[in-house]
A and B are shown apart, each in its own frame.
Chain A
Amino acid sequence: MSDDKQPDLARREFLQGSAGAAAGLAVAPGVMLYGPAASAKPIDEAASSEVRWGMLIDANKCASDCDACVRACNTEHGLGDEDQSGPRQQTQYIRKVELRNKATGASHSLPMMCQHCETPPCADVCPTGASFKRADGIVLVDRHICIGCRYCMMACPYKARSFVHESLEDQEPYTPRGKGCVESCTLCVHRIDLGGIPACAEACGAEGNGAILFGDLNDPNSAIAQAVAEQATTEVRADLGLNVGVRYQGI
């Protein structure tokens, strides 16, 4: 039901236009690294439900002393610039989680962020529809109609969302962050719409251990679709039946 909750086209075109202008400078090396933007859709085309963007994260490759994904995300979205908020109040789109099995002692390290559920509880509970899922599976907050009630933060099983606790300035044009609104991982939608990949996945490949595989789960030829078809993968809180877009291996 979230498909009709998308922001109107005119606004998204504007956002994409401005994002493209800025991202063209800032992200050009990263985009070039992955070759021409083969999967970029025309700028005036709506997101398609034929695509389901997702990630496969291999916890076996993820090292506990590596936080390349977190640093890349913070830089990409201009996070970490709160000077009044305490550490418990500052925004984190992605964080490294350390796990230790209480019975066996086995340890794992993995990045945790918005899992981009097919049926996102945040979008279910949002009174205004500010939390919504794009047709291609990306869960976002429309910051024009978020009233800051934080019910989505109560509802998210992954603790993926943050509330902006203070006034912010000099934001990245593609990540408008406002005091009193809720925000979370956008799957770097501004990059995806230009044919790029999320900053965390890019950084993990470049300076991390290549633990994050990003792609279209609906495209049988994509590496991620083939990987999830062949190997056992895990959804966090699979009991909730949310059919998340972010899957894990090795836990």
Chain B
Amino acid sequence: MKARFQQIQASPGFYGLLIGLAAVILIGLGAAYYMEHNGHWVTGMTNQVVWGTPHVFAIFLIVAASGALNVASIGSVFGKTPYKPLARLSAVLAVALLIGGLAVLVLDLGRPDRLIVAMTTYNFKSIFAWNIFLYTGFMVIVLVYLWMLMERKMYPRFGKPAGFVAFVWRLILTTGTGSIFGFLVARQMYDAAIMAPLFIAMSFAFGLAIYLLVLMASYRWTGRELGDYIVYRLKNLLGVFVAGVFYFVAAQHLTNLYATEHHGVEAFVLLNGGIYTFLFWFVQILLGTAAPLAILFSSLGRSRTWIGIASALVILGGLAQVYVLVIGGQAYPLSMFPGYEVSSSFYDGVVASYSPSLPEVLLGLGGTAMAFALVVVAVKALHLLPESLSDKAVNPHAAS
């Protein structure tokens, strides 16, 4: 089977989309400048909640980036032929999401002007320092992999090894991202080895949800054929990934519930944490887990619209999950004096208040728009999308 890849045609819709994304990027850059110029006092962040909404967007995008590569890995590494035509978009989406996420992370630094320091001065005991190598390495490796995918002379020899290296690297990368929290001994909600596999499961689900939406939108907007065969395979896989995330979430909370030491933080998330409890049960579990599973594995899952809704819900639930983890994990007070009621002028012993400020949200949206703008430009400039992903083109063994 040889898929014919073709750039998309420029149309008013294409330019409209690009201009819209560019506007969101500019607004995001403006928000970053506003925050950096004034200092972080203009944000909702405090000395209690030091990582705010930009980190929620950044971590979500970075986690989703490694997951977006899975589609390519399934084709190259696991040899599933129907996935092979999907690999190029998968690789480009992975790099684009990572760039968008990193842009948000860097622009929210207290001193983004010192990025060169971060690139030249390392403390190798820091998982953050490792991540700098994991992120830049990921981009290089995936771009080489993309080159192998696009060069017909190279692919037979180097396609699988390149895909294998990229697949292993992305697993290590997400382990590194999860370990940002897993290695934090200080806070009740973190300090757990399960953070690494949990983040890998999250990346599978978030990345595939975004991939499905991008794929369906690209083919609808360009009038190309996208058959049910590949869409159904992807949506079933998404369902499995969503269930996988739920498994790790359940294991994490059940383990914590067993230990009296963790009852406080569990009650905070599950029972009395206000916005965090709401986000956990209603958005992450009900909208982001139960609803997509019900849609994807019922007859609703035969409708493209419902598959799109389910993917969007997975993304919404994922953002809520990262919000609860990042913000909720900081809002819950440090346990310095177990058995004591604690109070101070520095807000010891109380749940920290945090509300996202507009510039923080705009910066996060700007990074997201940057990721999608890169994809839009790439599908126009490069031979990324097969001309047809009809059932016949994708699956030569199809009955009809």
State the A residues within 8 Å of B (CB). Answer: 1, 5, 70, 82, 84-92, 95-103, 108, 112, 121, 123-129, 145-151, 153-159, 161-167, 179-182, 236-237, 240, 251
Contacts of A251 in B (CB 8 A): 337
A176 to B323, CA, bound (A): 34
What are 26 inter-chain pairs, A to B, with CB distance below 8 A?
A84-B38, A84-B41, A85-B41, A96-B344, A97-B343, A100-B341, A112-B348, A124-B125, A124-B126, A125-B126, A125-B183, A127-B123, A128-B121, A129-B121, A129-B123, A145-B117, A146-B114, A151-B180, A154-B50, A154-B184, A159-B334, A161-B47, A162-B47, A163-B50, A165-B41, A251-B337
Give the bracket for the number of chain B residues in contact with chain A: 35 or more
14 further A-B contacts with Cβ under 8 Å, apart from A127-B126, A150-B110, are A95-B346, A98-B344, A102-B339, A126-B128, A127-B129, A147-B111, A148-B110, A150-B50, A156-B186, A157-B336, A159-B48, A167-B39, A180-B36, A237-B336
A157 to B36, CA, bound (A): 28
Given A88-B47, A179-B110, answer yes or no on A165-B40 (Cβ-Cβ < 8 Å).
yes
Is there contact, CB below 8 Å, between A128 and B123?
Answer: yes
Is there contact, CB below 8 Å, between B128 and A236?
Answer: no
Interface centre among A90, A98, A128, A155 (most CB of B within 10 A): A128
Is there contact, CB below 8 Å, between A126 and B40?
Answer: no
Q: Nearest residue in B to A157 (C-beta to C-beta)? A: B186
A148 to B127, CA, bound (A): 16
Contacts of A126 in B (CB 8 A): 123, 126, 128
Contacts of A157 in B (CB 8 A): 185-186, 334, 336
Given A88-B46, A99-B342, A128-B118, answer yes or no on A150-B51 (Cβ-Cβ < 8 Å).
yes
Given A112-B348, A157-B334, answer yes or no on A103-B343 (Cβ-Cβ < 8 Å).
no
Is there contact, CB below 8 Å, between A166 and B125?
Answer: no
Interface of B, secondary structure class, is loop
Contacts of B117 in A (CB 8 A): 128, 145, 147
- Chain B nearest CB from A98 CB (Å) reads 5
Contacts of A87 in B (CB 8 A): 345
Contacts of B343 in A (CB 8 A): 97-98
A119 to B11, CA, bound (A): 60
Contact of B291 with A by CB under 8 A = no
Given A125-B183, A180-B109, answer yes or no on A165-B39 (Cβ-Cβ < 8 Å).
yes
Q: Which of B21-66 contact A (CB under 8 A)?
A: 36, 38-41, 45-48, 50-51
Contacts of A161 in B (CB 8 A): 47
Q: Which of B298-357 contact A (CB under 8 A)?
A: 330, 334, 336-337, 339-348, 352-353
Contact of B217 with A by CB under 8 A = no
A86 to B186, CA, bound (A): 25
Is there contact, CB below 8 Å, between B183 and A99?
Answer: no
A70 to B109, CA, bound (A): 29
Is there contact, CB below 8 Å, between B348 and A159?
Answer: yes
Contacts of B112 in A (CB 8 A): 147
Contact of B122 with A by CB under 8 A = yes
Listed from nearest, the 8 A-B pairs whose CB atoms lie closest are: A148-B110, A180-B110, A127-B128, A88-B46, A129-B123, A157-B186, A166-B39, A165-B41
Q: Nearest residue in B to A124 (C-beta to C-beta)? A: B125
Is there contact, CB below 8 Å, between B121 and A145?
Answer: yes
Chain B window 163-197, contacts with chain A (Cβ cutoff 8 Å), 1 for yes, 0 for no: 00000000000000000100111110000000000
Contacts of A167 in B (CB 8 A): 39
A1 to B122, CA, bound (A): 13
Contacts of A92 in B (CB 8 A): 47, 345-346
Contact of B132 with A by CB under 8 A = yes
Contacts of B341 in A (CB 8 A): 99-102
A102 to B336, CA, bound (A): 14
